[in-house]
Amino acid sequence: MIYKNMRSIGLLFVIMFVSNFSGCFYSFTGASVAPHLKTVAIPVAEDRSGVGEINLREQFTSKLIQAFNNDNTLRVAEKSGASALLECSIVSFNDAPAVIAASGNNRENVATRRITITVRVLFKDLVKKRTISEKNYSNYGDYTTENIAANRPAGIQTALDRITEDILIGTVSNW
């Protein structure tokens, strides 16, 4: 009899525990774009970095459009038919030493360089005619100095891949 009561109490405790915490779990769907926003226009980014990197704004814009197309939260469209606008300006491009390695004769050599790109992003709701967010995004890509001409473009591409992913997540998640 005592065993039966303890078993019932234990079962009751488990049921109460599960029912008490069942509504406390958090899930992240990744999308918090307003329901009326279905399309986004992404014009070619401005390059205000002053560095003069050839095709940087076109490469960035192409990667950003590709990221949005792959994500499928907002369909990329021309500005005339879009419900949202994503205006981007590359505001800085920095190429600096990242890893210093010792070499013979007590000399130091730069083994790895880091390209850091910062982009100013303005996300506008064209339906309600308001700014949703205005934010700077910054990310980097490293490359080795063994063959700068061959490796530097890969560092730029890594930085662009990372920053476009950050912009996508920040835009569709409204972070």
Please report, for the domain that includes residue 54, its CATH number.
3.40.50.10610
Q: How high is the pLDDT of residue 99? A: 76
- The span from the CA of 126 to the CA of 131, in Å, is 9
25: pLDDT confidence band, cut at 50, 70 and 90?
very low
What tens digit of pLDDT does each residue of 94-105 get?
999 887 766 666
* CA distances from residue 18 to 7, 22, 31, 72, 78 in whole angstroms, order as listed: 17, 6, 28, 36, 50
Residue keyed to tokens 């960035």:
60
pLDDT at residue 4 greater than cutoff 60: no
Total number of domains in the chain: 1
pLDDT at residue 21 greater than cutoff 80: no
- Residue at 76 is within a domain: yes
Q: Which domain holds residue 151?
A: 34-173
CA angle 146–147–149, rounded 5-degree value: 150
- Residue at 12 is within a domain: no
Q: How high is the pLDDT of residue 107? A: 62
Q: How high is the pLDDT of residue 105? A: 63
Q: What is the mean pLDDT of the chain?
A: 84
- Residue at 44 is within a domain: yes
- Residue at 165 is within a domain: yes
Name which of 22, 3, 25, 21 is nearest 11 in CA terms: 3
Q: How high is the pLDDT of residue 33? A: 86
- Percent share of the chain, pLDDT over 70: 77
CA atoms within 13 A on the CB side of 74: 34
- Residue at 53 is within a domain: yes
What tens digit of pLDDT does each residue of 139-160 get?
999 999 888 899 999 999 999 9
Q: How high is the pLDDT of residue 30? A: 46
- Residue at 26 is within a domain: no
How confident is the model over 8-27, as a mean pLDDT? Answer: 46
Burial class (CB in 10 A: 0-12, 13-18, 19+), 30: exposed
Contact at 8 Å (CB) between 53 and 156?
yes
pLDDT at residue 73 greater than cutoff 60: yes
- Residue at 6 is within a domain: no
- Residue at 123 is within a domain: yes
